[in-house]
Structure 1
Amino acid sequence: METELIEAYYVPESIKLTDFRQESIQVKGRKYTVKYPELTAEHIEEIGASLQANRKDYLAQLTTNEVVDKIDQAIQLWLNPNYRLRRIADALIPAVTGYDQDMVRLELKRYMRTFRKKELLRFLDEEFDQPAILDDFRPRKSGGMSRAYGPNTIFHLFSGNVPGVQLWSLIMGLLLKSAAIGKTSYSEPLLPALFLQSLKEVDERLADAIAILPWKGGTESLDNMAVNWGEAVIVYGSNKTVAEIRKKTPIHKKLLSYGHKISFAMIGKEALTADHYSDTLHKLAEDISIYDQQSCLSPQCVYVEQDGVVSPKQFAQGLAAELSRYHKKRPRAKLTGEEAMSIQNFRNEHSLKSLQSQKTAVYSSKDDTAWTVIYHEEPSFSGSPLNRSVHVYAVDRLEEVADHFQQWESYLQSCGLAVEPARLFSLANILGAAGVNRFSPIGEMNRAKPGWHHDGGFNLMELVRMVDLERDLEYGLEKYDSDVE
Structure 2
Amino acid sequence: MEQYTHPHYWFGQWIDDAQLSKELLQRSLAPRFNQILSLAFPFQDLLQTCQALADDLFQQQKSFTVLHGYLCTQMATAEAQAILVQLIAMLQKETLQDKLLSELGTTQPHVLERRYPERQFETWAPLGCLVHVMPANVFAVAAMGLLEGLLSNNINMVKVSARDSQFAALFAQELVSHDRSDRLHDYIAVLRLSSKQNDLLQSLFDQADVISAWGGEAAISAIRKMAPDSVRIVAWGHKVSFAYLSHSMLQNQEAIEGFAKDMCVLDQQACSSPQTLFVEGNEQEVLQVAQALNTALTRIAPTIPAEDPDDAAWAEIATVINVATAEQALGLCHVIQEPHRAWRLIVDYRPGLKPSPLYRTLWIKPIQAEQVTSVLRPMRAWLQTCGLAANFNETKVLVRKLFAAGVSRITRPGEMLNSYNGSPHDGLYALQQFMRRITLDASEEFAQLGSFAQLENGAADKMLSKSKIMTKADFLQLMHSQQHTYGLVVRSGGSSGQTAYSHFLWKDYAKQMKETAHGLLAAGLNPKTDVVMNAFAAGYMYGSFISFWTILETLQIRQLPMAMVDDYQLLVDEIIQQQATVLIGMTPHLLGLFNAQGQRIKDYGGLKKVYFGGEGLSRSQRHYIQQCGVDILRSVTYGSNDAGPIGYQCEYCEGGVHHLFSALQRLEIVDLEQDVPVEQGEIGRLILTSQARTSPNLERYEIGDTGRWIDTACACGRSDPLFELVGRMGDVFKAGTPQLNYAQFVQIFSDQANYSGRLQIHLHADGQFNVIEVWMDDSLGMTEDAAAALLLNQYPELSMVQKLGLPVKVQIRIQVEADFVKIKASGKIKHVFDHRQTAVIEQ
Q: TM-score, normalised by structure 1?
A: 0.78
Cα distance in 2 for partners of 1:323, 1:92 equals 33
Matched AA of 1:120: L
Bigger mean CA offset, 223-232 vs 378-387: 378-387
Cα distance in 1 for partners of 2:295, 2:199 equals 49
Cα distance in 2 for partners of 1:43, 1:333 equals 42
Residue matched to 2:708? none
**Aligned partner of 1:362 among 313, 335, 343:** 335
Give, in angstroms, the shift of residue 253 of structure 1.
1.4
1:382-411 alpha-carbon deviations (Å, 9 max, x no partner): 11223332211234x556433311311111
Matched AA of 1:64: F
**Aligned partner of 1:61 among 40, 54, 71:** 40
Residue matched to 1:298? 273
Asked if 1:149 is matched to 2:120, the reply is no
Higher RCO, 1 vs 2 (CA within 8 Å, ≥6 residues apart): 1
Cα distance in 1 for partners of 2:302, 2:379 equals 30
Residue matched to 1:388? 360
Native 8 Å contact 2:72 2:80 kept in 1? no
Give, in angstroms, the shift of residue 175 of structure 1.
0.8
Cα distance in 1 for partners of 2:78, 2:248 equals 33
Matched AA of 1:419: A
Cα distance in 2 for partners of 1:462, 1:5 equals 32
Matched AA of 1:240: A
Q: How does 1:449-464 map to 2 (within 5 A)?
A: 449-464=420-435
Matched AA of 2:353: F
Native 8 Å contact 1:133 1:146 kept in 2? no
**Aligned partner of 2:317 among 328, 343, 346:** 343
Cα distance in 2 for partners of 1:321, 1:102 equals 29
Native 8 Å contact 1:417 1:439 kept in 2? yes
Q: How does 1:172-251 map to 2 (within 5 A)?
A: 172-185=148-161, 188-203=164-179, 205-207=183-185, 209-251=187-229
Change in CA separation of 1:353 and 1:365 when aligned onto 2, cut-off 3 Å: same
Identity %: 22
1:355-400 alpha-carbon deviations (Å, 9 max, x no partner): 110x5211235576x53321124442111223332211234x5564
Residue matched to 2:390? 419
Cα distance in 2 for partners of 1:171, 1:417 equals 32
**Aligned partner of 1:313 among 287, 309, 326:** 287
Cα distance in 2 for partners of 1:334, 1:39 equals 39
Cα distance in 2 for partners of 1:4, 1:265 equals 48
Residue matched to 2:52? 73
Q: How does 1:82-101 map to 2 (within 5 A)?
A: 83-85=64-66, 87-88=68-69, 91-94=72-75
Native 8 Å contact 1:292 1:387 kept in 2? yes
Residue matched to 1:374? 346
Q: Which structure 1 segments of 5+ residues have no match?
A: 20-37, 96-100
Q: How does 1:325-340 map to 2 (within 5 A)?
A: 326=301, 330-337=305-312, 339-340=313-314
Cα distance in 2 for partners of 1:16, 1:403 equals 53
Give, in angstroms, the shift of residue 215 of structure 1.
2.3
Change in CA separation of 1:174 and 1:136 when aligned onto 2, cut-off 3 Å: same
Native 8 Å contact 2:11 2:189 kept in 1? no
Matched AA of 1:331: A
- Aligned residue pairs total 442
Change in CA separation of 1:198 and 1:288 when aligned onto 2, cut-off 3 Å: farther
Bigger mean CA offset, 41-50 vs 417-426: 41-50
Give, in angstroms, the shift of residue 62 of structure 1.
3.9
Cα distance in 2 for partners of 1:7, 1:450 equals 37
Cα distance in 2 for partners of 1:207, 1:60 equals 14
Matched AA of 2:9: V
Native 8 Å contact 1:166 1:192 kept in 2? yes
Matched AA of 1:417: L
Change in CA separation of 1:93 and 1:303 when aligned onto 2, cut-off 3 Å: farther
Residue matched to 2:443? 474
Cα distance in 1 for partners of 2:295, 2:324 equals 19
Give, in angstroms, the shift of residue 90 of structure 1.
5.5
Cα distance in 2 for partners of 1:48, 1:318 equals 63
Residue matched to 2:819? none
Native 8 Å contact 2:264 2:306 kept in 1? no
1:403-428 alpha-carbon deviations (Å, 9 max, x no partner): 31131111111112233345444322
Native 8 Å contact 1:11 1:47 kept in 2? no
Native 8 Å contact 2:241 2:276 kept in 1? yes
Native 8 Å contact 2:6 2:16 kept in 1? no
Native 8 Å contact 1:9 1:211 kept in 2? no
Native 8 Å contact 1:8 1:214 kept in 2? no
Q: Which structure 2 segments of 5+ residues have no match?
A: 448-714, 716-843
Residue matched to 1:41? 21
Change in CA separation of 1:15 and 1:70 when aligned onto 2, cut-off 3 Å: closer
Asked if 1:284 is matched to 2:259, the reply is yes
**Aligned partner of 2:404 among 433, 457, 464:** 433
Give, in angstroms, the shift of residue 171 of structure 1.
1.0
Cα distance in 1 for partners of 2:324, 2:378 equals 22
Matched AA of 1:344: A
For the aligned residue pairs, the C-alpha RMSD in angstroms reads 3.7
**Aligned partner of 1:257 among 232, 235, 258:** 235
Give, in angstroms, the shift of residue 239 of structure 1.
0.6
Residue matched to 1:447? 418
Change in CA separation of 1:163 and 1:295 when aligned onto 2, cut-off 3 Å: farther
Give, in angstroms, the shift of residue 81 of structure 1.
6.9
Matched AA of 2:199: S
Matched AA of 1:297: S
Native 8 Å contact 2:8 2:192 kept in 1? no
Native 8 Å contact 1:313 1:394 kept in 2? no
Cα distance in 1 for partners of 2:163, 2:275 equals 23
Matched AA of 1:75: A
Native 8 Å contact 2:243 2:277 kept in 1? yes
Native 8 Å contact 1:163 1:188 kept in 2? no
Cα distance in 2 for partners of 1:188, 1:290 equals 24
Change in CA separation of 1:404 and 1:16 when aligned onto 2, cut-off 3 Å: closer
Native 8 Å contact 1:103 1:290 kept in 2? no
Change in CA separation of 1:281 and 1:141 when aligned onto 2, cut-off 3 Å: farther
